[in-house]
Chain A
Amino acid sequence: MPKDMLLEIKDLEISLLVESHMVNIIDNVSFDLKFGEVIAIVGESGCGKTVTSQAIARLLPRELKILSGKILFYSKIDERVLDVCKLDPKGKTIHYIRGDQIGMIFQEPMSSFSPVYTIGNQICEVIRLHQKVSKKKARNISIELLDTVGIPNPVAAVDQYPHEFSGGMRQRAMIARAISCNPSLLIADEPTTALDVTIQAQILVLLQELQKEFGMAIIFITHDLGVVAQISHRVFIMYMGKIVEEGSVHDIFHNPKHPYTENLIHAIPKLGNLRERRRLVPIRGNVPSIFDELHGCAFHPRCKFFMPDKCDVHFPKCKHLTSNHSVWCYLYE
């Protein structure tokens, strides 16, 4: 792995075990992440983006198994590269990576904290788990963190319970907990989906500021391209467990190559369109079920450029258009 790489995922395959059947959820996914880089993984619900992110911290539920591939992560404590896939998910190593070097925030701020402990208790716990500090010190760090993420009156907030917080405040507190040990990687799994639009914008700005201040790398999991445009450096478009296009934000928005990416971009409402009374263009058809056996490119039943005997036979090879813009589609072969 190159020196400036924090994370490198190689040919990751994850399967779902259903009554002794194996269904591939993640198929041959590869990507990498430099220190301090922000990337976004975009796709519809069920495309495997959350599974990918949970695999990085080995938080997959029991039914999901990593079949093959590598997840290489530079651990700053060991000062070496670890293959997360090879770690025991209940072992020591993964436990000091989680929370300490990989912080995570989740989609539902309302239920990400336990309702029976104070916010402070749940943040201090993480700090004291990974750092040798006194209770009092941990409490002070928690107050500072709450202040950093923009919670008003952090001294009082530290002793409050989650039900006394609004959704946006809880997501801020969640972020405070995730960054409490200064992780080198922050995984944000749809952090703004459950919030209303103004709060969404605030949270994104906050994450951006924190990223600049602490310099951690962020993986954004989202289905919202607007979020992506605002914050990330590189974008990966995922469909049915495969990456179909990757590129810079500029490439993806202004020069989308894969028909799926193109369709996604057209499905974003724009203010200008309202005046012209132009309708949004939905992607025809539905996301297929993971149990449908689709050969070739999984998007072919919904694709207007579908080429029989080609698209439905083998998955296309990667086509590098520029040094950092790649697409997996027969249109470009």
Chain B
Amino acid sequence: MVQILIRRTGYALATLFFVSIICFIIIQLPPGDYADAYAAKRHAGGEIIRAEEVEAIRHQLGLDRPMYIQYLNWMWGVVRGELGMSLEYKRPVSEVIAERLPLTLILAFSTMVFIYSVALSIGILSAVRQYSAADHFFTVIGYIGLATPNFLLALLLMYASHKWFGQSVGGLFSPQFQDAPWSWARLMDMLSHLWVPVVVLGTAGTAFQIRTMRAVLLDELNKMYVIAARSTGLSEFRMLMKYPVRIALNPIVSTLGWELTRVISGAPIVGVVLSLPDTGPLFLKSLLDQDTYLAGAMILIYCTLVIAGTFISDVLLIILDPRIRYERLT
């Protein structure tokens, strides 16, 4: 078990290393750099900027050096916990992100909890009561959930929350709490706003996981070991949970990493549409500004979350299924 964990951690770190290289290359791919974007912005403001000035900015920021040197510099900083300076905000990247990252994490975590708590219970119900009214109802809702684009759902829910719940549109806080220090009331206020992005981000995943749970559990319910377990006199509920549901969790747990990927990559768009004070809008802006280090750091953080999610799902799977443990050991 320890051996597997060490090996898995090694894989995760190696993946992270390659991903960081790819991140860096992708950020550099669009033509031009921060100096050009800066000049263009000043130019649009009516200023005249000479080529030498642009060059000076570029040299000052080290953007004229070869790409691998820039990468190594950046990486060396990352390893020491310094993510570099944001070119646009003129502040350390870590500071800029730190303001917003907790909200992103809260959002991602709540969405995952939402997806799995709803999907597992409805999936189990749907399978055990196959072709019942409830099953049909959730199947229809599920397909609608799968088919509705996030932004449309976001707009609908914003309208609904404003119209029927009288909440301020967008954001995670009511105006009076916008800049208030953290307090119980502020937390409650945030939770009352949080459900909109959580539902928007989680609906497609929930629908997908309901389908998975239902399909796998239906297969498992017909297996011999279910009848065998029933023949021992276990109550139906205990039998269900201990035997078929436990096995049906396998595909659910092994796709945990993908689901987290989907939530994280969907978050920026939802963040922009709902104008949330999380990392989403910041990420979009950093890309538009060609703010290399900020964008790089954000992509790296997103990737780390995804890799961590996959790692967690692998570990859970090993705990869940002794057959996997056995295979890897021998």
* Chain A residues within CB distance 8 Å of chain B: 54, 57, 59, 90, 95-100, 102-104, 106-108, 111-118, 125-126, 129-130, 161, 163-164, 174, 177-178
Instruction: Note all chain A residues with C-beta closer than 8 A to B208.
Output: none
A97 and B233 contact, CB distance less than 8 A: yes
Q: Which chain A residues border B323 with CB–CB below 8 Å?
A: 115-116, 161, 163
Interface pairs A-B: 9 shortest CB-CB: A99-B233, A99-B232, A98-B233, A104-B231, A111-B224, A112-B228, A126-B232, A95-B233, A114-B225
CB contacts (< 8 Å) of A126 on chain B: these are 232-233
Quick one: which of A117, A164, A177 contacts B232, CB cutoff 8 A? A177
B320, CB-defined interface residue at 8 Å: yes
Extra contacts besides A125-B232, A161-B323, A163-B326 (12): CB < 8 Å: A102-B231, A103-B231, A106-B227, A106-B228, A111-B224, A112-B225, A114-B225, A116-B320, A117-B242, A161-B322, A174-B228, A177-B232
Q: What would be 17 A-B contacts, judged by CB atoms less than 8 Å apart?
A: A57-B231, A59-B227, A95-B234, A97-B233, A99-B232, A106-B227, A107-B224, A111-B224, A113-B228, A115-B322, A116-B322, A125-B234, A125-B242, A126-B232, A126-B233, A129-B232, A129-B234
CB distance from B247 to the nearest CB of A (A): 6
- In the bound complex, residues from chain B placing their C-beta under 8 Å from that of A96 are 233
> Considering the chains assembled together, what is the distance between the CA atoms of A178 and B225 in angstroms?
13
Q: Counting CB contacts under 8 A, is B91 at the interface?
A: no
Q: CA A54 – CA B242 in complex, angstroms?
A: 22
Asked whether any CB of chain A lies closer than 8 Å to the CB of B223, the reply is yes
Indicate whether B236 reaches chain A with its CB closer than 8 angstroms. yes
- B247 cross-chain contacts in A, Cβ below 8 A: 114-116
Q: Which residue of B lies closest to A62 (CB)?
A: B130
- Kindly state whether residue B321 has any CB partner on chain A within 8 Å: yes
* Chain B 215-234 interface mask (CB, 8 Å, partner A; 1/0): 00000000111011111111
A213–B320 CA distance with the chains assembled, in angstroms:
39
Residues of B within 8 A of A (CB): 223-225, 227-236, 242-243, 246-247, 320-323, 326
Determine whether the beta carbon of B231 is less than 8 Å from that of A99.
yes
- Total contacts A-B at CB 8 Å: 74
Min Cβ gap A218→B in Å is 15
Contacts of A164 in B (CB 8 A): 326
Give CA–CA (A114, B323) in the complex, Å.
11
Q: Given the complex, which residues of B lie within 8 Å of A130, measured CB to CB?
A: 233
* Distance between A193 CB and nearest chain B CB, rounded to angstroms: 13
B224 neighbours in A (Cβ, 8 Å): 106-108, 111-112
A130 to B232 CA separation, bound complex (whole angstroms): 9
Among residues of A, the one whose C-beta sits closest to the C-beta of B322 is A161
Determine which of A54, A114, A178 lies in contact with B229 in the assembled complex, contact meaning CB atoms within 8 Å. Answer: A114
B231–A114 contact, CB under 8 A?
no
* Min distance, Cβ B262 to any Cβ of chain A, angstroms: 27
Contacts of B242 in A (CB 8 A): 114, 117, 125
**Alpha-carbon separation in the docked complex, A54 to B226 (Å):** 13
Asked if B321 and A116 make an inter-chain contact with CB atoms under 8 angstroms apart, the answer reads yes
Bound CA–CA A163/B325 (angstroms): 12
Whether A98 pairs with B223 at a CB distance below 8 angstroms is no
CB nearest neighbor in B for A177: B232
Of listed A57, A97, A174, residue having the most chain B CB within 10 A? A57
Say whether A98 contacts B230, CB under 8 Å: yes
Q: Which residue of B lies closest to A112 (CB)?
A: B228
CB closest residue in chain B, given A104: B231
* Chain B residues whose CB sits within 8 angstroms of the CB of A106 once the complex forms: 224, 227-228
**Most chain A Cβ neighbours within 10 Å, of B224, B232, B320:** B232
State how many angstroms separate the Cβ of B251 from the closest Cβ of chain A: 14
Q: Which residues of A are found within 8 Å of B320, using beta-carbon distances?
A: 116
B236 contacts across to A, CB distance below 8 A: 90
Contact of A161 among B235, B246, B326 (CB under 8 A): B326
A7 to chain B, nearest CB (A): 16
Shortest Cβ gap from B308 to chain A (Å): 25
- Residue of A with least CB distance to B237: A90
B246/A114 in contact, CB under 8 A: yes
Distance A25 CA – B320 CA, assembled complex (angstroms): 40
